[in-house]
Chain A
C-alpha cells in the first residue's frame, strides 16, 4: 500500500515472492505497437523446456495408460476398486483438513509477522523463514522422532500419569493430519504474509478512530483486505495436499493411505506395469485439473502468484454489506478486555511456531542421542553419530552430489528464468499473463503425477539415472520460483536508470549490461540461491529419476527411513538444515547489501 495511490494499475503488478516494489515508474513505457515484440523470443528456451518436461510427459502418460486390447482396463480398475477410490476420497479429505488447519493456524501467524509488535515481527519472520526452506522430508523426520513410541509425547503422558503405557502415535490418521498441517503451514503463511504486508496499518487505525473497536476494525477492514491472501494460500495448500505423499507415507504406515502414496509406491515397486502406473498418474492429474477448473470459477488462478489483485478485495468489500448486521455484536466484543479477543490469535500463532520449530529442534536433539532405542529425549549425549556420518562415504557422497546438483541447477535455471523474466517484464506482446500462468504451473500441479511421465521421456533420451536427468527434474520446480523472484526484481528496478543510460549514449544491450545488471546483481544471486535450495531439497522427481546409481542426500535419507531408524538420520537432517541456514544467511546479507547500495527494499519472503 502506498500513501499516494498510483493510478492506472499495472496489469501484472507484483508477485508472490516479491521484494517490496517501488510504486512508480518501474515498468517500461509502452513501446511502439508491434504484434510480436522481439523480446518474446527470449521465452523460447523456457517454453521449450516446459514442452519437454510438462507437456510431452503428459502426452506419454496418456498414451501409455491405454494398453492395446482393452484400452480402458486400468482406468476401470482405478475407478471401481474401493482401494483406489477410497484413497482418492481420503486424499481430498486430508487436503481439505490440512488446508483449514493451516489457515486457522497460519492466519494469526502471518498477522504477527506483518502487523505484530516490532520485536515479535522480526523474531517470528526469522523463525518462519527457516522451516520454509528446510526440506519437507527433514521436518517430517522430526515429527517421526516426536511421535515415536519412546518419544517426548509419550514420555510426557507417562510422566503426567495420563496413560499407563505408551500410546500408539505413529501410523495414525491424527499423526498424518497433524504432520501435513505442520509441513504445509509455510505455504499458507507465505501468501498470507505477502498480502497482509501490503495492508497499511493506518487503515486499521483509521477504522479505530472512526468508531470501530479492535474486532470490528478487523472484521470490516483487515479481514476483507486479506482475503486474496487467504484464497491464494488455500489453493496452494490444497493443491500441494492433493499430490502430497512424503509425510503421509512416513507417518501413516501401510494401511488407509492417500492416493499419492499408493501412486508413489506403485512407481517405485511395480515397474513391471508401466501402463497401470501411467493410468494412476493420469487419474491424479485429471483430478487436480478438475479442482483447478472449479477453483478458477471462484478465484482467478493468477491470484496464486499475485494475490494482491484488487478485484478480489473489492468483491469482499461488497460482500460486507451483509456483514454490517453483526456490527453490534462486534462492538460488544470490543468492549471486552482486549486480551479476551486477542488471546485465541496469540495461542494459535504460538501453536504455529511450535509446529514449525519443534520438529527441527527434535531432529537436532536426536542427533546427539547415544542410544537408538532408548527413551528420547535422554541426557546421554554423544557426537559419535556425526563422526559416523563423516566417515561413511555413502552419506558424504550423497551430500556432495546434492551440492553439485544444486549448483548446476541454480546456474541452468537462473539463465532460463532470466530470459523469461526479461521478456515478461519488458516485452509488449499479448498473452503475458497466460504465459506467466504456464510458467507457474509446476507450483500447483502434483509433481508425483508427472514424475513417471518425465521418467518415460528421459528413459527414451537415455537420461534416466544420470546427473543431467536429475538436473532436468530439479529444474521443474525451480523454474517457476526463480522466475517469480526475478520478475519481481526486474519490476522493482527503476526503469528510468536504463533510460538515462540510453540518453547518455548507451545501446540497449550496453545499458542493460552496464546499468541494469549491476544494480540487480544481488537479486540475481538471491534467485540463484533459491534455485539451489529447491534442488537441494527436491525428492519427488529424484525418487523416480535417480535410478540405481545416483543418490542425493534427501533420497538416501528417504530410503534409509524406510529401513531403519537411527540417530545418524538426524545428523543428515542437521546437515541439511545447516546448508539451508547458511544459504539463507548469505541471502539476507545480500539483501541488506542491495538495500544499502540501491535503496531497493526486500525481504526473503
Chain B
C-alpha cells in the first residue's frame, strides 16, 4: 500500500514539516480550503458485504460534521478510510483538492481521537502529546511550547507527567484530544470519543469540545450513535444506515424535516400513523389509516393519491385535549391506558380508537393539564408540523 503511495502520492503529499499550520487562517470565502474534505462515490466492500456504498459528501472547511447512525451503519469505516487505516474499494477522498486515499496514514496529517483513546502506555501525557510533533522533526523550545499549549487547551497541565493508567477516563480522553490537535491537523476525526465516559461527564465534555472547536478551527468529523450528542455539537449531521447516507443537514433540518421514515424514527422520539393517501391539496396531504382515522401532514416528495405512506409527528408538537372540549377542529381521538410518572416528564400510553397504541411524553410544566388512565382524549397537531413520508 505504501509503495503505491510512494509513486502515486509523493508529489501531492504535504512534504514540509508543520505546513498545515499555514492553513490555520480563517476560511477565505470561496477559495480552496485545505480543510475541505470531499468524498466521491466512496465504497468499501468486504468479501460478501458492503460496509459503505457510494458515499458522496462535501465537508466544508472548519465545520463540525457528525456521522450518526446505528452500529454497523458504516460510519466508523468512513472514518477509518479518512484516517488511512482502510482503503476504499472504489471512489476517492480529497483533502483541500489533493487526493488523500492513496496516502499511507502517516502522510495524511489527520488527527484522530480513538474510541479507546489508544494512548501509548509507556509514555507520560507529555510524551504522548509530543509524539506527533517529534515525528515531524520538531524539537527543542518549539516542541515544548506547542506541547504545553495543547495540554493547557485541554486543561491537563497538572497531570502532564502522569502515565495513562494513572489518569481517570475523562483525563485520558483529554490527553488523547491534546495529542490529536497538537500538530494542528486540518481535519480532526473523533470516533465515539465520549463513549467510555459516564453521562454527566459526557455532557460537560460536549460543551468543552464545541468550545475547543472554535479555538482550533480544524474540520471535525465526529462519529457517534448518540442523537443528543449529534444534535448539541454539530454544524451538520449525516445520518447513515446500512452503508448509505440517508440525509445530510443541520440538526434543525434533520429533526424537523426528516427525509424518510428511517431518519424520523432514528432521530428522536416520533409518533407515526400509517395509512393510504386520500387527498393532496395546498401541500397538505391527508391520510386515512387502517383504523379509519384521518391524519394530516406536509406532503412529502413523490406521493400520489392511493400510495401507502406514513405521517410522522414529533410528540412535543402534539397537543392533548379532553375528548369533550367542544372544539370543532378535527383530531385523533383515543383513550389513555397508562401513565408513567418520570419526574420532569410523564409518559402516556394512548389507545387510538380503532386499535393502535402510541406513546407520548409530556413535560410536567405549569399550565399543562395532566391526565389519568381511562381519560378520553383528542390528539391534535398543526398539519405543517407533521411530515408525510413513504
Contact = CB atoms under 8 A, between A and B. Distances in A.
B136 interface: yes
A203 B127 contact: no
A5 B131 contact: no
Interface string A195-220: 00000101101111111111011001
Contacts of B169: 4
A221 B132 CA distance: 12
A209 B83 contact: yes
Contacts of B183: 210-211
Interface string B102-145: 00111111111011101011111001000110111101000000
Interface string B133-175: 0111101000000000000000000000001110001001000
Interface stretch (A140-148, A314-322, A512-520, A535-543): A314-322
Contacts of A320: 122-123, 127
Interface residues of B, number: 42
Given A211-B109, A334-B106, A338-B2, A313 B85 contact: no
A214 B1 CA distance: 12
Contacts of B196: 3-4
B132 to A, nearest CB: 4
B24 to A, nearest CB: 17
B165 A206 contact: no
B275 interface: no
B84 interface: yes
A211 B103 CA distance: 12
Main secondary structure of the interface of A (DSSP, over half): helix
B6 interface: yes
Contact of B120 (A4, A317, A324): A317
B121 A211 contact: no
A7 interface: yes
A328 B134 CA distance: 9
B121 A205 contact: no
Nearest to A341: B2
A317 to B, nearest CB: 3
B165 A5 contact: yes
B120 A5 contact: no
A206 B134 CA distance: 14
A87 B106 CA distance: 52
A327 interface: yes
B3 interface: yes
A337 interface: yes
B2 A212 contact: no
B179 interface: yes
A531 B284 CA distance: 79
Contacts of B136: 211
Contacts, number: 113
B121 A313 contact: yes
Nearest to B183: A211
A560 B373 CA distance: 92
Please classify how large the interface on chain A is, using the bins under 10, 10 to 19, 20 to 34, 35 or more: 35 or more
A19 interface: no
A202 B113 CA distance: 11
A200 B127 CA distance: 18
Contact of A203 (B83, B106, B120, B137): B120
A334 B105 CA distance: 12
Interface in B1-49: 1-3, 6
Contacts of B107: 213
A214 B3 CA distance: 12
A207 to B, nearest CB: 7
A208 to B, nearest CB: 4
Given A200-B116, A316-B122, A327-B137, A337 B6 contact: yes
A339 interface: yes
Interface in A306-347: 310, 313-314, 316-317, 320, 324, 327-328, 331, 334-339
Interface string A179-201: 00000000000000000000010
Given A205-B85, A225-B121, A317-B122, A212 B131 contact: yes
A338 B104 CA distance: 11
Interface string A558-578: 000000000000000000000
B120 A221 contact: yes
Contacts of B135: 210-212, 216, 327, 331
A34 to B, nearest CB: 31
Contacts of B123: 317, 320
Given A5-B172, A317-B122, A211 B132 contact: yes
A313 B122 contact: yes
B165 A310 contact: yes
A208 B120 CA distance: 12
Contact of A208 (B85, B111, B122, B165): B85
Contacts of B114: 202, 205-206
Interface of B: 1-3, 6, 83-85, 104-112, 114-116, 118, 120-124, 127, 131-132, 134-137, 139, 163-165, 169, 172, 179-180, 183, 196
Interface of A: 1, 3-5, 7, 9, 200, 202-203, 205-214, 216-217, 220-221, 224-225, 310, 313-314, 316-317, 320, 324, 327-328, 331, 334-339
Given A211-B135, A335-B6, 18 more contacts: A5-B165, A200-B118, A202-B114, A205-B85, A207-B131, A209-B84, A209-B105, A209-B108, A209-B112, A210-B131, A211-B136, A212-B106, A212-B131, A214-B106, A217-B106, A317-B122, A327-B134, A327-B135
16 contacts: A1-B121, A7-B165, A207-B131, A209-B110, A210-B131, A210-B132, A210-B180, A211-B183, A212-B106, A213-B107, A216-B135, A225-B121, A310-B163, A317-B120, A336-B6, A338-B1
